[in-house]
Amino acid sequence: MRPTVALELLATPAEVSGVRRALRPYGTDVQLCASELVTNVIRHVGEGVPLTVRVWPEEGGRVRLAVTDPDPRALPVLVAAAGAKAESGRGLALLDALAVRWGVEQEAGRKTVWCELLVCVPETPERPGRRRRSAGALGHSSARS
């Protein structure tokens, strides 16, 4: 299945808001997870590296978000509990709470961090056949596979 959205950009703080705007139709959970993943690339791989953000629908009302960067060695680590004074360590915990599941795929010369989110998309009467994206997806932690 082809991605519905594919953004190629450089990992800079200024690009994070552009990614959120581009993903607005998918709802706040997808926007938030994309922001966290792009920010992780900036922080752990380096500012200015090329990256790709892709989003596409999956079966069962899920949406898959994937962020690919050029460093297969800088793997994300889910911190058990960031302390109250910690300046980092909450991004993946947030992604873990919102996503149905997530993971990392490593290939020669790159890695992709992905997550799947459940997005309720009821049809809207003003646009038959078109579905509106929800503002969020809550309570998915028990649905992990």
Higher confidence at residue 123 or residue 81? 81
Share above pLDDT 90 across residues of the chain, in percent, rounded to a whole number: 61
pLDDT number for residue 82? 58
pLDDT number for residue 129? 44
Pairwise CA distance, residues 144 & 53, whole Å = 23
Write down the pTM of the prediction.
0.77
Q: Which CATH number does the domain housing residue 47 bear?
A: 3.30.565.10
Q: To the nearest 10°, the Cα dihedral for 7, 135, 56, 73?
A: 60
The whole-number average pLDDT for the span 113-137 is 57
Confidence of residue 134 (pLDDT cuts 50, 70, 90): very low
Contact 68, 112 (CB under 8 A): yes
> What residues make up the domain containing 104?
5-143
Structural domain total, the chain: 1
The whole-number average pLDDT for the span 40-64 is 95
